[in-house]
Amino acid sequence: MSSAHSNTLAQESSINDNFSGPESRFECPICLAWLRDPVLTSCGHRFCRSCMDSWLERENPSCPIDNTKLEKGVDIFPDNFTRREISQQKTKCPNLVRGCLEELSPLDVETHLLTCQYKPPELPENEKLRCAFVEFGCEDKFEDEPELQRHLEQYIHKHLNLLSQAYSKFTINSPSTSAIAQQANFWDPPSKNDTSVSSNHDNVNGLLKALYEKAVLLEQKTREQDIIIANMSEQISSLNLSMSKMHLRYCNGCYLWYFNDFKNKINAMRNDSRIMHYSPGFYTAANGYRLCIRLNLSPKDPNYIAILIHVMKTEHDNALDWPFSGRLTITLVHPLQPFHNIKETMMTRPELDAFKKPVQDMNPKGFGYTEFALIEELFSQGYVENNHLLIKVQAQPV
Amino acid sequence: MANIAAQRIRREFKEVIKSEEVAKCAIKVELLNDSYTELKGEITGPPDTAYEGGTFVLEIKVPETYPFNPPKVRFITKIWHPNISSVTGAICLDILKDQWAAAMTLRTVLLSLQALLSAAEPDDPQDAVVAKQFKENIEMFQMTARHWTNVYAGGPHVNKECDDKIKRLVDMGVEEHQARVALSSYNWDIERATEQLFS
């Protein structure tokens, strides 16, 4: 394929040489073309008649070759010998490469070319072949492939220059074409003047753009889902919290307090008598009084534990009767033998501060037994199981 | 443009491109427009002259009556030569005037100009100041021409003495080329050049 191609090129250029440069004896030194209606000067030089006529219109004309004075009508003769020789010359049409087999007199070539059916089509400007270096600034256009090939061979130097210029621009511009700038480009509307040359490039760009848009949408969706999940887990944890408080509200005044880590807490309280432990607040009814249990060492005798009940504030205190009055039962549950349970019941006393409507979160004063049980006995008689103590409080408003 | 002029330039153009001189980089022609009326020529300074190593750019305008009338040629590159104006680049060469012949071509014109650089005609000057220096002090002329070739045509011979003198005038506020012209015209006598510049 390539050898056939170079062959056509060689033919083309040899025809071209024939065409552009007639043998010097057949060439007019003025128009540099084949002698047309040749004349001979007295000094022995040949010219086209029309070229010589134009030249002789100058003042004091002389021969364009050797400066000999020439006089019109005296020193100029028709050269019929040369005219006959030229008319016997046959040359091939320059469109041979495109299939024209016409053999012509060199003088007729130009007239023939105007009507030659093999002449390269006069393509409209936008259908002409562009130089392969058009992107680097070579604006030349061609009628057909051989012309383009010839151009590429002739202008190697020019194209190299264009390439090196483009390269220097490229290196200067490259820092600005950062990934972010390219991403931004993907949001631009597609260019309207789609040319067939760059369609392949556009396809890739289009694909990239579509993928990029999809990625952005997915990213956005992921972000939204993250927010929804965060909200839901917040809701769940707040629900869990209120669920965990549910048994406090709906225990009907009967609350079991698992007092764990008993030994350590007792030791800590022995070291610091100010330490007191409170149970969570529980309700006597869904909208009833709220109470909590306090456990600490008896201030009078640190060998005893004190168990007291405190009244706590609720959001519906104004709907309740004050002072709180009712029966309170405190039971220290023996884990194995129910008949060992220590059970104490007491009635509220309305005159005590402990039962008044609480002003703070919890009434500072409590009501109960400061010496409820001897710590020693709790251990020895098996109330403490797995290091925890179970205290049950029943509160019944009356 | 008349058909014959364009056609001839087209043919000549091929001739120049193929010629031996282009192969040796001695001359060069480039088209400046599609109608073959304006061209850019380039000749190198001939060896063993003050212009050696320089590249001189020429403006070539082809008249409609070409080749019956000569092309209009002038130097774009500034040059110090008796037959070429140091100001306008206009050339005094007979073949570009009355001695033109229709058989001459761009190639022969460029080669003639190259020949003019190696053989000045001080008796038929275009630039009287340069011609006077050429006749009276040929060494001074050679040095100046070499310096101009270095500065404007990319020639290899740097003349530090000239550059220093020009710098002194430039430091005084004179434009560089003006300073070079003044110094060149007064045989690099800085006092006389200063006097001329500031009078």
In 3D space, the residue among A127, A158, A121, A159 whose CA is nearest the CA of residue A141 turns out to be A127
Total count of residues recorded for chain A: 398
Mean pLDDT of A149-154: 83
Lowest mean per-residue pLDDT among A184-198, A206-220, A322-336, B33-47: A184-198
Q: How confident is the model at residue A245 (pLDDT cuts 50, 70, 90)?
A: confident
Q: Which of B118, B137, B162 is the last residue of a domain?
A: B118
Contacts of B7 in chain A (CB under 8 A): 31-33
Do residue B68 and residue A20 have CB atoms under 8 angstroms apart?
no
CA of residue A170 relative to chain centroid, distance: 24
Question: Over the stretch A359-377, which tens digit does the pLDDT of each residue have?
Answer: 888 888 889 988 888 888 8
Q: Is residue B98 part of a domain?
A: yes
Does residue B25 come out as left (phi exceeding 0), alpha (psi in the -120 to 50 range) or beta?
left
Do residue B103 and residue A57 have CB atoms under 8 angstroms apart?
no
Domain match, B17 and B111 both: yes
pLDDT recorded at residue A12: 36
Do residue A65 and residue B101 have CB atoms under 8 angstroms apart?
yes
Q: Is the pLDDT higher at B115 or at A3? A: B115
Domain match, A379 and A297 both: yes
Nearest CA in chain A to B101: A64
Q: Which of B118, B141, B161 is the last residue of a domain?
A: B118
B101 interfacial to chain A (CB closer than 8 Å): yes
**What percent of chain B has a predicted confidence (pLDDT) above 90?**
53
Q: Is residue A139 part of a domain?
A: yes
Domain match, B54 and B108 both: yes
Q: Is residue B135 part of a domain?
A: yes
pLDDT recorded at residue A173: 53
pLDDT recorded at residue A1: 38
Question: Over the stretch A72-127, which tens digit does the pLDDT of each residue have?
Answer: 888 889 999 988 888 888 877 877 777 787 787 887 877 787 777 777 666 666 77
How many whole angstroms separate alpha carbon A320 and alpha carbon B52? 120
Q: Is residue A192 part of a domain?
A: no
pLDDT recorded at residue A108: 80
Nearest CA in chain A to B34: A140
Do residue B102 and residue A64 have CB atoms under 8 angstroms apart?
yes
Interface of A with B (CB under 8 A): 20-21, 29-33, 51, 54-55, 57-58, 62-65, 67
Mean pLDDT of A7-15: 36
Domain match, B137 and B108 both: no
Write the CA distances from A398 to A158, A290, A326, A356, A392, integer angstroms. Answer: 111, 15, 4, 15, 19
Q: Domains in chain A: how many in total?
A: 4
Q: What are residue B43's DSSP bridge partners?
A: B27, B56
Query: Mind telling me the catalytic residues of B?
Result: 92
Do residue B101 and residue A58 have CB atoms under 8 angstroms apart?
no
CATH number at residue A105: 3.30.40.10
Domain match, B94 and B11 both: yes
Query: Is the model's pLDDT at B71 over the cut of 60?
Result: yes
ipTM of the complex: 0.74
Domain match, A50 and A62 both: yes
In 3D space, the residue among B116, B118, B119, B105 whose CA is nearest the CA of residue B29 turns out to be B105
The closest CB to that of B12, out of A32, A64, A65, belongs to A32
8 Å CB contact between A94 and A14: no
How many beta carbons lie within 10 A of that of residue B178, not counting itself?
14
Burial of A177 (0-12, 13-18, 19+ CB in 10 A): exposed
Question: Over the stretch B139-178, which tens digit does the pLDDT of each residue have?
Answer: 999 999 999 999 999 988 888 889 999 999 998 888 999 9
How many whole angstroms separate alpha carbon A46 and alpha carbon A23? 13
State the DSSP string of A99-136. T---EE-GGGHHHHHHH-TTSPP---GGGSEEPTTGGG
Do residue A54 and residue B7 have CB atoms under 8 angstroms apart?
no
How many whole angstroms separate alpha carbon A291 and alpha carbon A391? 14
CA of residue A107 relative to chain centroid, distance: 68
Q: Is residue A258 part of a domain?
A: yes
Contacts of B15 in chain A (CB under 8 A): 32
In which domain, by residue range, is A289 found? 254-397
Domain match, B107 and B146 both: no
How many whole angstroms separate alpha carbon A231 and alpha carbon B45? 86
B138 interfacial to chain A (CB closer than 8 Å): no
CATH number at residue A379: 2.60.210.10
Mean pLDDT of A341-347: 89
Domain match, A385 and A267 both: yes
How many whole angstroms separate alpha carbon A144 and alpha carbon A132? 13
B119 interfacial to chain A (CB closer than 8 Å): no
Domain match, B49 and B113 both: yes
Contacts of A65 in chain B (CB under 8 A): 101, 103
Give the three-class secondary structure for B193: helix
Domain match, B132 and B173 both: yes
Query: Is the model's pLDDT at B182 over the cut of 50?
Result: yes
Q: Is residue B123 part of a domain?
A: no
> How many angstroms separate the CA of residue A173 from the nearest CA in chain B?
30
Domain match, B14 and B73 both: yes
pLDDT recorded at residue A57: 86
Domain match, B99 and B147 both: no
Q: Is residue A24 part of a domain?
A: yes
pLDDT recorded at residue A234: 94
Domain match, A304 and A276 both: yes
The closest CB to that of B102, out of A21, A33, A55, belongs to A55
Contacts of A55 in chain B (CB under 8 A): 68, 102
Mean pLDDT of A370-385: 87
Contacts of B101 in chain A (CB under 8 A): 62-65, 67
Mean pLDDT of B95-103: 89
pLDDT recorded at residue B34: 77
pLDDT recorded at residue A11: 35
pLDDT recorded at residue A122: 65
> How many angstroms separate the CA of residue A24 from the nearest CA in chain B?
12
Domain match, B40 and B105 both: yes
Q: Is residue B72 part of a domain?
A: yes
Q: Is residue B60 part of a domain?
A: yes
Q: Which of B64, B98, B118 is the last residue of a domain?
A: B118
Do residue B101 and residue A51 have CB atoms under 8 angstroms apart?
no
The closest CB to that of B103, out of A21, A30, A57, belongs to A30
Q: Is the pLDDT higher at A227 or at A139? A: A227
Question: Over the stretch A170-223, which tens digit does the pLDDT of each residue have?
Answer: 665 554 455 555 566 556 555 555 544 456 667 788 888 889 999 999 999 999
Q: Is the pLDDT higher at B86 or at B7? A: B86
Write the CA distances from A211 to A180, A205, A217, integer angstroms. Answer: 16, 10, 10
pLDDT recorded at residue A193: 55
User: What are the phi and psi torsion angles at A395 (to 5°)?
Assistant: -125, 125
Mean pLDDT of A289-306: 90
Q: Is residue B179 part of a domain?
A: yes
Domain match, B91 and B184 both: no
Domain match, A7 and A111 both: yes
CATH number at residue B100: 3.10.110.10
Which residue has tokens 């000067």? Answer: A41
Query: Is the model's pLDDT at A6 over the cut of 70?
Result: no
Q: Is residue B156 part of a domain?
A: yes
Nearest CA in chain B to A32: B8
Q: Is the pLDDT higher at A15 or at A33? A: A33
User: Over the range B40-79, which residues count as b (16 or more CB within 10 Å of their CB) and which as e?
Assistant: ebbbbbbeebbbbbbbbbbbbebeeebbbebbebebebbb
Question: Over the stretch A266-293, which tens digit does the pLDDT of each residue have?
Answer: 888 888 888 889 999 999 988 899 999 9
Q: Domains in chain B: how many in total?
A: 2
In which domain, by residue range, is B88 found? 3-118
8 Å CB contact between A86 and A38: yes
Mean pLDDT of chain A: 81
Q: Is residue B55 part of a domain?
A: yes
How many whole angstroms separate alpha carbon A319 and alpha carbon A317? 5
Domain match, B16 and B93 both: yes
